[in-house]
Structure 1
Amino acid sequence: MVRMSAEERRESVIRAAIAEFAQRGYFGTSTEAIAQRVGVSQPYLFRLFPGKKAIFAAASLRCIEDTCRILEDAAEGLEGDEARHAMANAYVRLLTEHPETLQMQMQTYITVAAAEAEGDHAFGEAVRAGWMKLWGTVHLPLGADVSDTTTFLAYGMLINTLTAMGFPAEHQVWQGMYPSARITGRLEK
């Protein structure tokens, strides 16, 4: 049996945390469930991360990083409408192939709001910094136009919302969207 390095275990924990938190949220997920999914003990889990908040933050930020990487790859060498269409297609593919990404995004927004309401601003600051990286990722390929960047991200949030609510691809709420934005079927929970 090949032993994993601490970094490989850490990566396994982040992926397991995304799957668990995406389904049950921050408050509904136990660190025990994450440890079991990875096949490690809870004490080992806490050697890799200082606590549940740190695990959730790593999972949330990983989703943002993955989204940025996918959009960067899609827009490479493209500008304007070509970049917009390539990034839109890549984002819809991401949500279709990895529904946990959308679910984790939605759980992240809820958790930021809850933390902010309790006076814990550190998590929100980290997520907002990640969001600004996402903003920058789409800004340049769209011609560094603030309006185009805002519109692109607004459509992305609309896609997130309609998909999370389970609207099928043929529903009228999708009319007027870029055709590839229609995600077929409901995202599985």
Structure 2
Amino acid sequence: MARTRLTAEERHEQLLRAALTAFTTGGYAGTTTDQVARIAGVSQPYVIRLFGTKQQLFLATVENAGRRIEERFRQAAAVEPTLASLGAAYDDLLAERELITVLLHGFTASADPAIGPVVRDCFGRIYRTVRELTGADQDEARQFLAMGMLLTCLGAMQVVGPDPVPREPWMTELLDK
């Protein structure tokens, strides 16, 4: 059976998807480029050739997650440029548990001097995008992002999103609007 040859861009995206899965499971410290390679079905040296280091691969994965959130917010704002619309878009993104979990791993790894600036820039872009798209003031954007961080944490704990755990009273209290 003949194998389909992927373009460089398709291979890059394939490796980012594999890295998303690997880093979601093991975090930055607990993931190897060999694990990413196995998930993608390529050799470990190939991963290094494309990304250089595990750190560069992790940063590319976090940046890609941030871009996907920004893109989804832009799509939502094209229909209705409100915080409610962006919030509904984020609710949809919570179904992509790997996406939100890798962001949490980025936040926890941001004490690393090479990772911190990239993660902070990613979060800053999301903040500026929310303000730009909705016209939200500083306080409104802060509240929106604070709720988003809460939902991100709850999503990573499987309280919200696909296949949530059974609700406990404290969960309901946090999520009641």
Pick the TM interval, shorter chain: 0.7 to 0.9
Partner of 1:105: 103
1:157 alignment partner, one of 117, 129, 149? 149
For the Cα contact (< 8 Å) 1:12–1:38, is it kept in 2?
A: yes
Share of identical aligned residues, percent?
A: 32
Q: 1:76 to 1:177 in 2, by over 3 A?
A: farther
Q: Report the alpha carbon displacement of residue 169 of structure 1 after superposing the two structures with TM.
A: 7.2
Q: Distance in 2 between matches of 1:90 and 1:169?
A: 24
Secondary structure in structure 1 of the residue aligned to 2:52: coil
Query: Given the alignment of the two structures, is residue 15 of structure 1 paired with residue 14 of structure 2, yes or no?
Result: no
CA, structure 1 residues 178+78, in 2 after alignment: closer, same or farther (shift >3 Å)? Answer: farther
* Counterpart position of 1:58: 60
Unaligned ranges ≥5, structure 1: 116-120, 180-189
Letter in 2 for 1:91: Y
Structure 2 counterpart of 1:143? 135
Q: Count how many residue pairs are aligned between Structure 1 and Structure 2.
A: 169
- The within-5 A match list for 1:74-153 is 74-79=76-81, 83-96=82-95, 98-113=96-111, 115=112, 121-153=113-145
Q: CA RMSD in A?
A: 1.9
- Residues 51-103 of structure 1: CA deviation (Å, up to 9, x unaligned): 10011100111111111111111121423xxx21211111111112x110121
Q: Is the 8 A contact 2:97 2:155 kept in 1?
A: no
Instruction: Describe the shift of the 1:24–1:147 C-alpha distance in structure 2 as closer, same or farther (beyond 3 A).
Output: same
Relative to the length of structure 2, the TM-score reads: 0.86
Superposed displacement of residue 161, structure 1 = 2.1
- Large movers: runs of 4+ above 3 Å: 165-179
In structure 2, relative to structure 1, the CA distance for the partners of 1:123 and 1:19 (3 Å cut) is same
Rounded Cα–Cα distance in structure 2 between residues aligned with 1:50 and 1:132? 26
- Using the size of structure 1 for normalisation, the TM-score is 0.81
Q: 1:142 to 1:178 in 2, by over 3 A?
A: farther
Task: Check 1:11–1:166 CA distance in 2 against 1; reply closer, same or farther (3 A cut).
Answer: closer
Asked whether the 8 Å contact 1:142–1:148 carries over to 2, the reply is no
The residue aligned with 1:182 is none
| Mapped partners of 1:106, 1:169: distance in 2 | 23
